[in-house]
């Protein structure tokens, strides 16, 4: 009888160790967008959020140019679920990324302008990310796409 009790106790300890610890009700959102300059190597660095990444593939996707990147301005904001929304002047899309083992992985490409954005800006409007572009109607975004057009 003792061996079965020891086996049961060992299995309980192993099972308890396998359960994952989860901290819920986390909010990953940034209160305001970050406007970051691209350096000559295609890197964007944001010290406030300890964030840096290479945007050359993104710039190439929008402009078909990954050489003339220095001085470009990228707009970034993070929603409460931890997804990053990225766009820039003259972009036709907003790109939604998630973190994935030391890199950003594309979650969704959201078409927002046929002509290209003239003066984009992001706002946190929980549970949405609001995209404002000059005098155009604001667009409410989620990680899945456009939820609705806002009112100006």
20-62 tens-digit pLDDT? 898 888 989 988 899 999 999 999 999 888 999 999 999 999 9
How confident is residue 144, by pLDDT bands cut at 50, 70 and 90? very high
How confident is residue 67, by pLDDT bands cut at 50, 70 and 90? confident
Residue 124 in this model has a pLDDT that exceeds 60: yes
* Number of H-type helices and E-type strands within the chain: 2, 11
Written as six digits, the tokens of 115 are 């002509």
The secondary structure element, H or E, covering residue 5 is: helix 2-18
pLDDT digits (tens, 9 = 90+) for 81-105: 999 999 999 999 999 999 999 999 9
Q: Mean of the pLDDT values across residues 111-140? A: 95
How confident is residue 106, by pLDDT bands cut at 50, 70 and 90? very high
pLDDT of residue 117: 97
**Number of CB atoms found within 10 A of residue 103's CB:** 10
pLDDT of residue 25: 86
What gap in Å lies between CA 81 and CA 57, rounded to an integer? 24
Ramachandran category for residue 55: left, alpha or beta (phi over 0 → left; psi -120 to 50 → alpha): alpha
Q: Higher pLDDT residue, 60 or 152?
A: 60
pLDDT of residue 20: 85
Q: Higher pLDDT residue, 13 or 141?
A: 141
Residue 143 in this model has a pLDDT that exceeds 60: yes
What gap in Å lies between CA 4 and CA 9, rounded to an integer? 9
């Amino acid at each position: 009888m003792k061996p079965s009790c020891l086996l049961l106790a060992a299995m309980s300890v192993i099972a308890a160790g396998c359960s994952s610890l989860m901290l819920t009700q986390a909010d990953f959102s940034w209160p305001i967008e970050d406007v970051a300059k691209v350096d000559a190597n295609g890197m964007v660095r944001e010290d406030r959020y300890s964030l840096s990444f290479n945007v050359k593939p993104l710039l190439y996707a929008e402009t078909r140019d990954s050489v003339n990147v220095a001085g470009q301005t990228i707009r970034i904001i993070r929603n409460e679920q931890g997804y990053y929304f990225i766009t820039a002047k003259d972009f036709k899309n907003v790109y939604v990324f998630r973190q994935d083992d030391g890199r950003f992985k594309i979650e969704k490409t959201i078409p927002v302008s046929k002509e290209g954005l003239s003066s984009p800006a992001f706002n946190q409007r929980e549970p949405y990310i609001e995209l404002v572009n000059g005098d155009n109607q604001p667009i409410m975004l989620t990680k899945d796409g456009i939820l609705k057009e806002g009112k100006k």
